[in-house]
Structure formats: C-alpha cells, structure tokens
Structure 1
Amino acid sequence: MGKKAPMTLARGLFSLLAWAAQPLLRRKLRKRAVAEPGYAVAVPERFGHYTPADLGQDGRGQWVWIHSVSLGETRAAAILIQALRERLPAMRLLLTHSTATGREEGGKLLRTGDVQVWLPWDTLAATRRFIEQFRPAVGVLMETEIWPNLIAGCANAGIPLTLANARLNEKSEAGALKMGLISKPAYAALAAVWAQSEDDARRLRNVGAKVSAVLGNLKFDAQPDEQLMSRAANWRHGLRLAHQKPVVLFASSREGEELLLLEQLQKQPDLAGAVQWLIVPRHPQRFDAVAQLIADAGFGVSRRSQWGHAADAGDAPPLQDGSLWLGDSLGEMPLYYGLSHLALMGGSFEPLGGQNLIEALACGTPVILGPHTFNFSQASDLAVQAGAAFRCSDMAQAMQRAVALVQDLPALAEAEEQARHFMLQHRGAAAATADAIVKLIRAGRNGNYS
C-alpha cells in the first residue's frame, strides 16, 4: 500500500470548491431528472448519506468495490465482474456509478448480497462517510475516473484503490498536467494502475501514476448477448429472403452528427435508396429529438420501440419504403450490430473522440470511422491496420464507402472475417486484471499490499 496522502494547499482549495458547488450539483440533478428520471433516484447518496443507515455495514472489509461512471464503463466492468466471480465465488460486489444509464445497466449485474449506490460527490465529508460506511477490501475505478479526495481518503484508510482498464488520451493528459498540483498526487496515491496500451501507460506515468502493468482492453473480452445475436441473425435472414437492401448502422451517434448524415441523404438520393439506414443515438434522452430531425429532413421514421412483439417473434423488422430506422431502445446494441452489415461509428464525425468500436467488431460487424477517434486511438488504429475498420475524412466519404463496401460481397465478407479475427487476437485483459485484483485482496489480508 502506498504512503498516506497529506492535505495539500491545492487539494484544500479543490475541497472548498467542491463543497461550495453542492447546490449547483443538486440543481443539475433536478434538471437532468426531467429527461432522465434516474437522476432523481437516491439523491442523498450523492452526498454520502445512505438509507437505511446500516446499508452495507455487514459487508465491511469484504466488499469488492467497482466504480463505473457511465454506460460504457459499466459494460467493461461487467466483463471484469464475471472474471472476478469465477475467482471469488463468494464475492460481495459494491457497485457505484455517476450517471443514470450506468446505474440502470449496472443493476443487471447484481446478485443477492450485492449493493449498488451512487459515487459520492468529492467533498471531504461525503467521501469520508462513504469510506466509513463500506470499508471495501479493494476499490477499482474503471478507465479514467480520478477523484482527489476519494483517492486520498482510501489511501489514508488503508484501502487499496486501483485504476483498471486505464486510458488517458492526449487531451486529458494535457488537462491533467495543467492541474498537476491536484492530479499528480491523486494518480500517485493509487495502489495500482493497469493500462490498456503502452501509449496510455506512457501518458499515465507522465501525470504521476505508477503503472503496474499494461494488460490490454477489457472490452476485447466481451461476448455479445446470444439471444440478441440469434434474433439479429433471424432478422437478417428474413430481410434477405424478402430481397431487402443491406443494413448500414450509424451507431452511438452524437448531437450534430445525425444532421451530417441526413444532409448527405438529401443531397445524394442514391445513397438513401441503396441501403437501409439505421440510426442508434448514443444518449436515450435524444431519441425523440432524433426522430424529429429525421422527419424534418423529409424521411419516414420507423422506430424500434414501435415494432412490437410481432417483430421480436418474427423474421424481420416491419418494412416501410423510404423510411429510416431509429434504434430507440436500451441494451440492444448487439441486436443492432448483428442486424447490420456495416457500422459507421458515432462520435468520430465531430471532434468528440469516437465511441467504442470494439463492441461492433465483437459482433462481426466491420466499422467505418470518421477522423476523430482519440478516445479509442489504439484500438481504432489497430483495427484499421487489420482491415476490420476503415477510416474516412468526413461523413460524405464515409457514406459512399459504406454503400460501396456492402455492395461488394467478397470485400464485405473479408472485412467481417478480419473483425472476428481481430477480436480473438486481443483477448485476455479480463483474466489478467481479475488475477491482479485478487492478488491485492489476498495481500491485504496478510497486511501487505506491495
């Protein structure tokens, strides 16, 4: 275990600002809850207050605590949790989140005896109450989460807090260096850091982290839901029998990106008619807004939420000539990827860093990327090199490339094979990370975290 984390002037100022910002956080939660009611759930937990008062007390010293801020991190955490349960069958899971979508997804991972709460706001008092309440055997922050008071509190309480599946892009590295008086002591106080790639490890070391190992990306160990993939295969078969067009998915699209696609469909009617376009927005609170964007652009909208039980039990989604499909459901990305012949990756056509392409490749779906993939730079570059993904300079080029590829059946089949092969080559991070966590827990029981 590392040294205790002293209160520095910089962290003291940060703590004062975090305390003063609490009313603003409450107001933000109320506003977010209008569109996403999950933000109104258990608000006192955000400030370190738990109901009932003894929640989690009987698991003190036993909890394996995992924090996954939002949906993507929770899906990565699910892979790690499965590996941990295989090694620790009696494990009691303490699962924390910061977003409503993360908490909803995380609820699916709970077993009897597990507990799920919000991560407290990073004030001295809230983090102290959280630590005293649960006293976990180990803490695992997923990917990028760094909270100075939480990390210092765990260090001072003798709780090994780690950063797993750790990544740090160049933009975040620059931000951390600017805030070095706060961020460097926080990174340095972590008991272990397991990086996704050598580039991530280099940047993490540069901001003060003691990187223990480079273990790869947990998301390569993902296994798509078999039931959803089976339904997708049935739908694809039904569409083929009906001589319908191939499906091209715009996956996890972000605000502003749907307009780019719709503008190209308006300018180039051949693109609109060549394939069946399916749009799945990244954030569920935007489903209705995206449906309106499609209608305003002059296209019909066929929404997944309106396909009904007949589609679920049948051979294909309902067919409507000239309509764009809108995937307005949660937890069905494997269905959408499996149904589609090719995917355009959202977040990469605006300077947002791109969304996770690994889930698409796990479903055997090749990917077309825009120019902005800094959130998943290594995975994106490797997938392009392997022929499982293709990079384009803008939306117009991406859509033209997509239509050309799905119409070239041998080239499409080769890309699908490369996607599957690429995933197999990069598996193993879940087992390695779980083994490292178990080693920390056992070392702690012997009084030695080194």
Structure 2
Amino acid sequence: MPRRAPAFGQFFGQLFGLAYTLLWCLAGPLAFFSARMRQGWKERLGLGKPAPCEIWIQGASAGECALVAGLLEHLPNVPVLVTTCTSQGLDVLSRIDSPNLQSRMLPFDLPLLMGRMLDTASPKAVVLLETEIWPGLLMACAARGVPVIVVNARMTAKSLAGYLFLGPLLRLWAPQRIGAMAPADALRFGLIFGAQRTTVTGNIKFDRAMNTPLLPLDENPLAGLVLRDHPFVVLGSVREQEEPLVLELIRQLREGNSHCVIGLFPRHMHRIPAWEGLLARSGIPFALRSSLHGQAQPGSVVLWDAFGEMNPAYALASRAFVGGSLARLGGQNFLEPLAQGALPCVGPHTRNFDWVGGEIFGSLVFKSASIPELARFLLSPAPPRSEVRAAALTYVHARQGATAASIALIRPYLHRSPHA
C-alpha cells in the first residue's frame, strides 16, 4: 500500500507537487536550448516504453553508471532498467555486457512522467546512486508504494543546506533505506530523512579500484620508447585551466634532469594543437606520439596524441603527476598510476577523489601546490614497482565490501509484488 502521511502533511505535499509540476512545465521548454539536454529528448519526455524490470537504477553521470556493473554482478538473472542524465552515461552502460540490462535517459522529473515510467516498467524497487534525490520520482514512488533505496550515498555540507530547506516535505517521500559512503554522509542524509533509515556501507568505487593488472615491462608496447637508465615522467590527464602551471613544471623537470623524458597526456585531444604552440614558443623539444617510432630524445616531451596508452605509460614511468588538480577542477584518478606501481603526485585540488580518504596523501600520493616540490618529487628515485602496487592494494582492499553491503540493502525488496 502507498505510504500515508498525516493529513496536514499530505495537503502541503500535494501543494508542493502542483507547484513543482508547474515549475517544470514553465522551465522545461528552456532545457531544449541546451544541446546536451536535446540528446535523447524523446526519452526525456517519457516517450517510448521500457520493458518490465525488477529494479530501476538511476545514476546521473558516467561515473555513477560505471558502478552499475558491480551491482549487476551480484544480481544475476535480475532484469534491470538503468536511467542516466547524460549521453556519456549511456555510453558507459552500452559497454556493460549483460542481457538483463536496458538503459535509457531519465525523464524530466515531472511526477506524471515518473509515474508513467513506474507503471510501464513495474519495478519492485528503485535504486538511486550517490546524490540522486529527485522529488518527482520520490513522489511517484511513494504514491505507488514502490520502495526507494539510495546506495553509495554522498552529500556535501553545501548540498545539505539546500535539502534541509525542503526536509519536512522530502520526509513525506523518504527512501526506505540509505547506504552512505561515510559517517559524515550518513549524518547528513539522516538529518533530512531520519537517522533510522541510514547506515554506513562504504564506497562501491573501492570494489572497482585497482582492478587493472600490473603490466610487465616485457609486455609493455611502449618499452622501446625510453632508455632504461633515463627517467620517464608522465604528466597525465592535464586540463586546459592548469596548462601554464604544467608548462612551468615541464621547465623545472628539464632543469632538474636534462635526460628526463616527459610524457604529456592532455585530458582532451583538442588541446594537442595548443600544446604544440606552447612547447614551440617555449623552446622545449617535443614529438607527437603518433610520429615517434623509436626512442624519444632525452630531455624532450612526448606529446600524446594517441588513445589508449595511458596505462602502458604509467607502467613505464618512474613517477607520475595526475592533472585536474592544479586548478579548481576536482582532480583526476591518481589510483591509475598506483595500479601500475608508479608513485603519483597531485596538486591541491582533489575534491573528486575525497572518497579515497585523506590518509593516502601521507603514504602513497604526494600532494602539493608548489611546482618546485612537485618537480623534486617526480625526479626522485622510484621505489620498486611491485612494492608500490602492493601497498596500494593493501590500502584499497581494507576499504572494500561496499557493493555486497549495498546489495544486502536492496535484496529484501525484490521478494515482493510490485506496488504491494
């Protein structure tokens, strides 16, 4: 049966639902001025019928959709509908090899559209990943008695302030269970939905981390690129906003060791021409990876314009810098070089990977806003690759198990009739 709120709460809930629907009707058409929002517009409008499923999972971004593969491994033979808000999320889902998975864009958060989706797909439970608190979907689920479970739940202090304003209303349509990444996240969700609904399950991302095998030197396709007695430093996933600082880092690396070969990986390929200009104007010798068929010149930069070679480069590197961290961009994945046994360093901005835990910066990852300090770290002798990887695996394995804990929250709701 649908969950019943007190009459007073029901009245304000209905009033909010009407106002929320009106707001979407007024603002929704403006969304189509965005090229991103026009992608998958038929599904965003709720057109086309999904097949019936046991579970509906919503993950907004590509990063959240990547967690779905781990969940599906624990739910064999369970038909699952996964929705996302981005075309990148759909791309990630298309690479998951599962006959039980169907994917599509999330409809606009109108209670009517969400309700139609629930009636068609008839899931026994709806699973929301991380911060996917959609009032329209929660209202539609509550009206039909479909239980909602939030897994890998996270919430910043800034987001909490906004949700607290709507807290009394959101509690009318509260999820049944919330599995939080960390105690702080559980506390914040508890303030909105009630502490009795929340538990700390850990972060599913740890269960997927470090799963890339160590690439031996004799199997590395880049092995002939650098002389073994010369340092090879990788600057990975460099973003446009930090390019001047990275250029200064390159200068200091070359001053510190004139034989050092630097592998430069821009995060986005369209920045390759810009980097060609920056390096040429700075008088720094460089070669495009696509034109390099032998050993790189000592003291030069290899500007990577080839896809799919980041992991082999990390497996060859003495040490690595991971970008997106010298500007306020949240940082890129510093676990990737650790998986290949290369100690990484980062700038001060690593918000995107706060889930890894601050302890890692005191042992396995060097963090600094100082370009000279980063350069000195990168030119320091490299420890044995096997020891670095083993230490990283120990760190990660101690924090795994969140996928199984999340499935334990979901599974009880599968043994029920839809809308029961």
TM category, shorter: 0.7 to 0.9
Structure 1 residues 224 and 382: alpha-carbon distance in aligned structure 2, compared to 1, 3 A threshold: closer
Instruction: Give the structure 1 partner of residue 157 of structure 2.
Output: 170
User: Which of 387, 392, 395 is 2:368 aligned to?
Assistant: 392
Deviations 1:140-194 (A, max 9, x none): 22112211111221122122222111111233333434xx226961696112111
Q: Runs of 5+ in structure 2 lacking a partner?
A: none
Residues 1:434 and 2:419 aligned together: no
Corresponding residue number in structure 2 for 1:36: none
CA distance in 2, matches of 1:131, 1:326: 46
Find the counterpart in structure 2 of residue 325 from structure 1. Answer: 303
Distance in 1 (alpha carbons) for counterparts of 2:232 and 2:158 = 37
Percent identity reads: 28
**Alignment match of 1:295 (pick from 246, 258, 276):** 276
- Pairing 1:25-424 to 2, within 5 Å after superposition: 25-28=31-34, 30=35, 32=36, 42-50=40-48, 54-56=49-51, 59=52, 62-84=53-75, 89-177=76-164, 180-181=165-166, 185=170, 189-208=174-193, 210=195, 211-222=197-208, 229=215, 234-235=220-221, 237-239=223-225, 243=229, 245-251=231-237, 253-266=238-251, 269-270=254-255, 274-281=260-267, 286-288=268-270, 290-299=271-280, 306=290, 319=296, 322-326=300-304, 329=307, 334-335=311-312, 337-385=314-362, 387-394=363-370, 396-397=371-372, 399-404=374-379, 407-410=380-383, 415-424=388-397
The 1-side partners of 2:217 and 2:383 are apart by 24
TM-score normalized with structure 2 length: 0.82
Structure 1 residue 272: Cα displacement: 8.8
Query: What secondary structure sits across from 1:194 in the alignment?
Result: strand
Stretch deviating more after TM superposition (147-156 or 407-416): 407-416
Q: How far apart, in 2, do the equivalents of 1:193 and 1:379 lie?
A: 20
Which shows bigger deviation, 433-442 or 353-362?
A: 353-362
> Within the alignment, does 1:19 sit opposite 2:19 as a pair?
no
Q: How many aligned residue pairs are there?
A: 407
Is the 2:123–2:418 Cα contact (8 Å) retained in structure 1?
no
Quick one: distance in 2 between partners of 1:142 and 1:232?
A: 41
* Secondary structure of the corresponding residue to residue 264 of structure 2: strand
Residues 353 and 374 of structure 1 are in contact (CA less than 8 Å); yes or no, is this contact kept in structure 2?
yes
Q: Distance in 2 between matches of 1:247 and 1:255?
A: 19
Task: Please give the alpha-carbon distance, in whole angstroms, between the structure 2 residues aligned to 1:403 and 1:154.
Answer: 52
Moved more, 68-77 or 223-232: 223-232
Q: Does the Cα contact within 8 Å between 2:213 and 2:340 map onto a contact in 1?
A: no
Task: Note the C-alpha offset of 1:136.
Answer: 1.3
Q: CA deviation at 1:438?
A: 1.4
In the TM superposition, what whole-angstrom CA distance separates every residue of 1:286-326 from its partner, at most 9, and x where no partner exists? 421x213212212577667x48xxx9xxxx99746633433
Q: Secondary structure at the match of 2:72?
A: helix
In the superposition, relative to structure 1, how do residues 440 and 247 fare at CA in structure 2: closer, same or farther (>3 Å)? Answer: farther
CA distance in 2, matches of 1:147, 1:272: 53
On the 8 A contact 2:331/2:349 being kept in 1, the answer is: yes
> Partner letter of residue 125 of structure 2?
V
**1:80-105: per-residue Cα shift (whole Å, max 9, x none)?**
22233xxxx21112111111211101
User: 1:348–1:355: 8 Å Cα contact kept in structure 2?
Assistant: yes
Structure 1 pair 353–241 and aligned structure 2 pair: CA distance change class (3 A): closer
CA-CA distance at 1:44 after TM superposition? 0.4
Q: Is the 8 A contact 1:64 1:137 kept in 2?
A: yes
Change (3 A) 1:262 1:240: closer
Given that 2:57 and 2:126 are in contact with CA atoms closer than 8 Å, whether structure 1 keeps it comes out as: yes
**TM-score under structure 1 normalisation?**
0.77
Determine helix, strand or coil for the equivalent of 1:207.
Answer: helix
Question: Structure 1 residues 250 and 226 mapped into 2: Cα distance closer, same or farther (>3 Å)?
Answer: closer
Find the aligned partners of 1:421 and 1:317 in 2 and give their Cα distance. Answer: 37
**Higher share in helix:** 1
